[in-house]
Amino acid sequence: MNILVYPHELAMGGSQLNAIEAAAAVRDRGHEVTITAPTGELVTVIEELGLPFVPTPVKSYYPSARTAGHLMELTRRLHVDVIHAYEWRPSIEAAFGTHLRNGTPVVMTVLSMEVMTSLPRHIPLFVGTHQLADSAVRRANAMVMEPPIDVRKNAVRDVAKARRRWGFTEDELVISVVCRLALEHEKLEGVLQAVAVAGDLAERLPVRMLIVGDGEGRADVERAAEVVNRRLGREVIIVTGSLSDPRDAYEAADVVFGMGSSALKGLAFSKPLVVQGKRGFWKLFDPQTSSLFLYQGWFGDGGGGAAELKAILEPLLHDAAKRLELGQLGRHLAEERYNLDRAAERLIDVYADTIANPAPLASWLPSLGSSVVEEAKFRLVMGMASARRAFSRALP
């Protein structure tokens, strides 16, 4: 098969890394795979994996007619059999471009925390959690594809070497978080809570915290880290910015914080995991909470904030045996449930079935018509919200 994979962006992030790594795994099984996306820092990962890359003509938040045309031209030139679009905008561009005009089969993946109602219902859809699959109303073709992890690449190799990279001593307790320092899903707010907690614990314990990531909140995190470091008279918090290969950050850790794919990589590195969410959500992955995360995904909404995080973290840092036990539990789960090799095989099966058994044409018109209506509603709501913000800024 000849497959075109279209992530929504190439900034550092879980959905797009999953798209690229899954594409490489499918390629390794004998298929032709090309990546197209707005250019960004993950181009280096695409190049390292040896995948062909064709940039889209524009970067945009909303679906772009130019990009839809680009997909049509690329599909014809490369003789593409199926397009795999990741997230809302690429799915719309593929559906109303080469799929509608030329009948090119499309598969969609949404790893966000909600499924947009404007996505065409006749196109097969992967979602990242069982909870999302249950909520995907009127979608008989919704399938669960939990974020796959390359468990061979993401595994403990040389902890001492990883720790030396940042000067961590053997007795120090290292907390690592790898994420975009963004307002989305309140990631920034959670990281700032974690900095404050790490600073408090470092008054009594040899705690260090490693923060890997970039985004609009990086300056806020750096300021918070500077306050903690100055107060304690030593470098407790390290902010590295984005790393194209953050594996050393996971490997150097005694405890990992994270959400989504970053949380799963922490498990793959045999580290105890504290799952971060929004509105103060912090919860330790253990046998009691595993069923919750396996259903709703590695995220959460609502909790006790910094106080709850501190209550989770302090006993964990005092208990090396518990950390080892939870790390082994997480590694076993990553190998059994989130293995990239098995995900690649399943993708190939779905691609082949989508090509061989297209949705009947009679289902296209109501599906695409509904998408047009829902997309118009979304644009209207977003436009009104933007107008309200502009009006508020204009008030004295």
Residue 222 has a pLDDT of: 97
Picking from 123, 70, 114, the residue whose alpha carbon sits closest to that of residue 93 is 70
Last residue of a domain, one of 333, 349, 375: 333
**Tens-place pLDDT, residues 225-284:** 999 999 999 999 999 999 989 999 999 999 999 999 999 999 999 999 999 999 999 999
Q: Which domain holds residue 236?
A: 159-333
Segment 370-390 mean pLDDT: 53
For residue 340, which amino acid is it? L
The confidence band for 379, taking pLDDT boundaries of 50, 70 and 90, is low
Please check whether residue 42 is in contact with residue 360, taking contact to mean a CB–CB distance below 8 angstroms: no
Query: What CATH number is given to the structural domain containing 32?
Result: 3.40.50.2000
Last residue of a domain, one of 286, 308, 333: 333
Check whether residue 204 and residue 314 sit in a common domain: yes
Check whether residue 277 and residue 355 sit in a common domain: no
Tell me: pLDDT of 391 over 50.
Answer: no
Residue 392 has a pLDDT of: 42
Check whether residue 279 and residue 376 sit in a common domain: no
According to DSSP, residue 197 is labeled H
Segment 37-44 mean pLDDT: 94
Tell me: pLDDT of 120 over 50.
Answer: yes
Tokens 């107008």 label which residue? Answer: 387
CB burial string 346-363: b at 16+ within 10 A, e below:
ebbebbeebeeebbeeee
Residues near 6 by beta carbon (within 8 Å), at least 6 away in sequence: 35, 36, 37, 71, 83, 84, 85, 86, 90, 93, 94
Check whether residue 105 and residue 42 sit in a common domain: yes
Q: How many domains does the chain have?
A: 2
Segment 318-328 mean pLDDT: 98
Is 11 part of a structural domain of the chain?
yes
Sheet holding 273-276: strands in order across?
A: 237-241, 207-212, 173-178, 255-258, 273-276, 282-284
The confidence band for 393, taking pLDDT boundaries of 50, 70 and 90, is very low
Please check whether residue 131 is in contact with residue 297, taking contact to mean a CB–CB distance below 8 angstroms: yes
CA separation for the pair 210, 362 (Å, rounded): 54
Check whether residue 350 and residue 324 sit in a common domain: no
For residue 180, which amino acid is it? R
Is 153 part of a structural domain of the chain?
no
Is 396 part of a structural domain of the chain?
no
SS3 (DSSP) at 22: helix
Tokens 């061979």 label which residue? Answer: 152
Tokens 């070497």 label which residue? Answer: 161
Q: Which residue has the higher pLDDT, 23 or 142?
A: 23
